[in-house]
Amino acid sequence: MPSENNNPWIEYDQRKKRCIWMLVGFFPAVLLVGGIAVTWFDTATPMMVCAAIWGVALIVTGRRFATWPCPRCGKEFSTKFGRSQAFFAKECLHCGLPKYGDHAA
């Protein structure tokens, strides 16, 4: 079994967590910024800017997660022919390596 420092699944988990936090945090962040902006400045422009920036960051984070390379074959673990299974992929769509499986075998 590989040591924790060499375990590629740690990066997979980190990317997944970032993606989830970006998704979960989108509406609270936008509503908070919007509420403050409308209350203090009587404008919704900062809310729109926050939504746009957060949206772009969410797309980038989601794409990084969806294109994470399989530790065995090096191809995108959960994406094949432009179609992504992202969170739902149970194995590599190219070589069949099970999620969290031993990549050295």
Nearest to 79 by CA among 42, 5, 89: 89
103 shares its domain with 84: yes
- Asked, for residue 76, whether it belongs to a domain, the answer is yes
How much is the pTM? 0.82
What's the pLDDT score for residue 37? 94
Q: How many CA atoms lie within 13 Å of 25's alpha carbon, on the beta-carbon side?
A: 15
Beta-bridge partner residues of 80: 83
Residue 38 lies in domain? 24-66
Instruction: Determine contact, residues 78/66, Cβ cutoff 8 Å.
Output: yes
Q: How confident is the model at residue 45 (pLDDT cuts 50, 70, 90)?
A: very high
- How many residues can be counted in the chain? 105
- Asked, for residue 15, whether it belongs to a domain, the answer is no
CA angle 51–41–33, rounded 5-degree value: 30
104 shares its domain with 88: yes
Task: Look at the chain and report how many structural domains it folds into.
Answer: 2
59 shares its domain with 29: yes
Return d(Cα 66, Cα 62) in angstroms, integer.
6
Q: How confident is the model at residue 4 (pLDDT cuts 50, 70, 90)?
A: low
Enter the DSSP assignment of 45: H
- Asked, for residue 84, whether it belongs to a domain, the answer is yes
* Whether pLDDT at 23 is above 90: yes
The H or E element spanning position 12 is: helix 8-41
- pLDDT, average across residues 11-17: 94
Q: Return the percentage of the chain with pLDDT > 90, whole number.
A: 73
Q: Pick 54 or 89 by higher pLDDT.
A: 54
- Asked, for residue 78, whether it belongs to a domain, the answer is yes
- Asked, for residue 13, whether it belongs to a domain, the answer is no
- Asked, for residue 6, whether it belongs to a domain, the answer is no
For helices 8-41 and 45-66, angle between their N-to-C axes, nearest 10 degrees? 170
What's the pLDDT score for residue 5? 67
